[in-house]
Amino acid sequence: MSRFPAWHYDGSSAVRRYVLIEPFGREFRVIEDEAVIGEYKFADLTFNDDQGEYLTYRHAEIDGWRLGVSNPLAPELEGRLPAQVRYGGFIDRIGLGRAAVILAGISAIAGTIFLTAPTWIAPLVPQSTEARIGELLFDDFGGRVCSTADGDAALAKLVEKLDGTDENLRVEVVNMNMVNAVALPGGRVLLFDGLLAEAESPEEAAAVLGHEIGHVRKRHVMQSLLRQMGLSVLLGGMDGAGGSTVSGLLSLSYSRDAEREADTYSIARMQGARISPEGGAALFDRLAGEDGPEGSARTMIGYISSHPHSDERADAFREAAEGGDYDPALSDTEWRALQEMCAEDPDVAESASIITLPVDEARKGRDDEAEESVASPVPVRDQRAR
């Protein structure tokens, strides 16, 4: 049998002994001056330290017991003595390189789960919870819902054409002097009076309304809230903190896929209702002129923006309108009643004035950062006399 030089402490004395070890099967003998002074099992040893010239081992059950074996180990001992512990755990078992690859994969999976969590959590949120969050948000628009008999009838007609189900959907016009519309959790859509003032036809308003209904039907709203405000949304974080909540709501962004999905929904519903998508193209053409100068930098920002830029959206609506046979979305009288709802409602609260900065301006110096449009409560002049 082969013997290998080593040093040894037996745990009963502090004397280092220079010995030979002789492996046999799963055990080994410690031999000093040709006398066997102990027999032990390899399985009872644990790696202790790499001292350069020697690798040292402890005995699991004998305090003070040590065995130092020449480094590097002889092949006959390498598979029997415990493996060296350099990094700990599975890293030593599989090697640093393979462990690094595995850990990188785990990190990537964890990151993907974190980023995509809103997508799979949102559908699990009960409708009752989503509606409660929506009511809290809606409270910050207090008293600004516009209502007249003719305006309500015109709005209901437009919603019927674009949705038809009326299931978990409530559309209202609010006295907000801003060219925008928002979808709230729980199926509430708010058209701002500033948008109706900007729109030159009911088809233009229908394109935006269909887009917001698309966000509702695809449950994008909860995804966006969860992505940007976290699970606190579900744990009571929406406390109706006045204008700050309104501004936060207006700055919510959707993923590019969600925005395009909502546009696709709007176009499909308009085509199904025989409403020309050309109205959307006309509105977005005008807004494109406000987005910023044309050019390659402009195109790049359009690509990374969380909201597709207006010229991109105009092209999609224009292409969808080609070759169709369409009817007016509303009569002239109905359209006028819808546009004048807030002006004709004597009980509505005074118009709130909040504007959004164009994405290009808001992103100066941070073109590749967070996907959001920026909103700030800034007073502006009413777009028309009340």
pTM of the model: 0.57
Q: Give long-range contacts, CB 8 A cutoff, 24+ apart: 44-52.
A: 45/81, 45/82, 46/82, 47/81, 47/82, 47/83, 47/84, 47/85, 50/84, 50/86
Comparing C-alpha atoms, which of 35, 15, 36 is closest to residue 27?
Answer: 36
Cα–Cα distance for residue pair 202/345, rounded to 1 Å? 20
Domain residue ranges in the chain:
4-85, 88-123, 125-376
pLDDT of residue 83: 83
pLDDT tens, residue by residue, 43-67: 999 998 888 899 999 999 999 999 9
Instruction: Give the pLDDT band (50/70/90) at residue 116.
Output: low
**Beta 188-192 vs 181-184: how paired, if at all?**
antiparallel
More confident residue, 74 or 368: 74
186 pLDDT above the threshold of 80: yes
CATH architecture classification, 4-85: Roll (2.30)
Comparing C-alpha atoms, which of 16, 21, 55 is closest to residue 36?
Answer: 21
**Environment class of residue 260 by beta-carbon count within 10 Å: exposed (0-12), middle (13-18) or buried (19+)?**
middle
pLDDT tens, residue by residue, 214-250: 998 888 877 777 666 554 444 454 444 444 445 455 5
CA angle at 358 for the pair 275 and 381, rounded to the nearest 5°: 85
Instruction: Give the pLDDT band (50/70/90) at residue 151.
Output: very high
pLDDT of residue 366: 33
